[in-house]
Amino acid sequence: MQSRISTVLLLIITGVFMLVQAGPVEAIPAFSRQQKTECSTCHTIYPELNEYGDAFQKNGYVPLGKSAVAQETTPSETGASIAGEGDPELLKKLKAQAVQSGVENDQVQEQRSKVNEGIWLAGIPEQLPISFRATQNIVYNEHALDGDKFDFATRSFAFQAGGAFRDKFGFFASYVLASHADTSANSDNLHELFLVWRHILDTPVNLKVGRFEPKLSLWKNNNKITTASSLAPLAYRVGSSLFSPESNQEALEANAVLGKRLFVAGGIVDRNGQNIKEGYGHISFKMGGADFLGNEPVVDLDSDSIWDYLTVTIGGFGYFGRNTRDDTDTFFKNRFYRAGGDMDIQYKRLRVKLIGVNGRDENPDFSAIPLERDSVVLASEAEYYLGSPVNAVALFRYEHQDDGSGITRRYIPAIAYTPLQNVKLSLEYRYEDAPAVISRITLLGVTYSF
């Protein structure tokens, strides 16, 4: 027991030393540079999204509340609008001030249009919307297969770009430039690349096309606090099938925010080497807190209530598809479906996530004699934010995975700390009780974006 405590302390000291030696990081990611705001506007503990960040994402990466055309008031209109009785001298001064203010505003707008007119008409972002994200992990595994208990080589470096072409289109791209985990020759480093056409024909419908993670759960894989482990209901696979609910695909999706608090999405997936398309759908409803358009609720400061701080989001999703061993095989096919639901509960600094997925695969091992498998995977996670001046979060996750080959249970406590909004230090312990073996892994990670 004493040796384990010493190991954990050594990992913490090593991680702090790495962070201190990195020096001060002043740069911030692409969205923060574009909108001239801090990372905490959209994130709790980077890169997990808060309510505003979720609404910003649903809004196609266009600033919330932005209007396409600003109404201007000419000096003559301003002066004419001031009337009434009273002190004639005072009224004369007020009129002169209003006219002068209108002239100055017009001059500012004229200068701005001269500087940015060409870029504005073309719809090109003023700043190059590029950022990078790097992760360096130190893993301690007592039962490592290669005998290397301390592994310093778990790292990744990704290129990210995103923004909007005025308020008509939003775009996002993520490309993994280097990753210790990519050992397969067929690994696709292009994580995401998509375009969102917003509010088609002045309707609330957005059209999303490209390579992305289909909208199923309330949360995306790359928006989690922990650096290594994903939520099992979104990451698990059955047999030899490579499908997981969080896997990125070439797809076409239509989504919309209806009535400010209802979000619906549906799409078609075009898997390589197949002439049959796959389909999915999502629906979620939010009660309390800011709505899906980023509008804050009205709070009565005179009568404090629990409902002023409680936010509950409920979602449901389904996916139906087909895959083969190598995307070109026409004989060994696996038809499958996934159906699930999730809930996100937030009360002040406490956040609880619940998710469950049920699935069936007709032939996940691609064998001559099909063997069906049913799967049930559940997960719950509780997070508590310590808040300023200690910008940290403590969390605990429990997972129950039954993929048809046995039951696996995972217990994952973790702590994440952000000394700067774009730098995160995390310590995670994963205890996994699988049918074949029990594994214990401690992981220290440093993630930064610039």
Distances (CA, A) of 97 to 79, 92, 93, 104: 9, 9, 6, 11
SS3 call for 163: strand
Please give the pLDDT value at position 109: 53
Least confident range of 15-19, 54-58, 292-296, 437-441: 15-19
| Whole-angstrom distance, CA of residue 25 vs CA of residue 249 | 34
The whole domain housing 346 covers 2-59+123-449
pLDDT value of position 283: 98
CA distance 236 to 149: 25
Mean pLDDT, rounded, of the chain: 79
At 327, give phi and psi (nearest 5°).
Answer: 65, 5
Owner of token pair 């993630």: 447
Is 220 a member of any domain?
A: yes
Residue 117, pLDDT > 50, answer: yes
d(CA 366, CA 239): 9
* CA–CA separation, 136 and 142 (whole Å): 20
Residue 106's SS3 state is helix
High-pLDDT (> 90) share of the chain, %: 38
Indicate whether 78 belongs to any domain.
Answer: no
Query: What is the residue type of 374?
Result: D
Question: Per the domain annotation, does 107 fall within a domain?
Answer: no
114 assigned to some structural domain: no
**Confidence band, pLDDT 50/70/90 cuts, at residue 77:** very low
The pLDDT of 10-17, averaged and rounded, is 36
Residue 328 reports pLDDT greater than 70: no
User: What distance in Å separates the CA atoms of residue 321 and residue 334, rounded to the nearest whole number?
Assistant: 8
Cα–Cα distance between 57 and 170 in angstroms, integer? 9
> Would you say residue 241 lies in a domain?
yes
Residue 386 has pLDDT above 80, yes or no: yes
Q: Are 195 and 171 in contact (CB under 8 A)?
A: yes
Digit-coded pLDDT (tens) for 99-111: 555 544 554 454 4
- 402 located within any domain: yes
pLDDT-based confidence at residue 301 (cuts at 50, 70, 90): low
Q: Which of 26-35, 403-412, 437-446 has the lowest mean pLDDT?
A: 26-35
What distance separates the 2 farthest-apart alpha carbons in the chain?
Answer: 97
The whole-number average pLDDT for the span 251-268 is: 96
CATH assignment of the domain containing 305: 2.40.160.10
Task: List the alpha helices (DSSP H) in 168-280.
Answer: 232-235
Contact 349/394 with Cβ under 8 angstroms? Answer: no
Global pTM value: 0.79
Domain tally, the chain: 1
pLDDT tens per residue, range 146-203: 677 788 767 788 888 988 888 899 999 999 887 765 544 445 688 899 999 999 999 9
Provide the pairing of β-strand 150-165 with 407-420.
unpaired
Buried b / exposed e over 48-66, threshold 16 CB at 10 Å, is bbbbbbbbbbbbbbbeeee
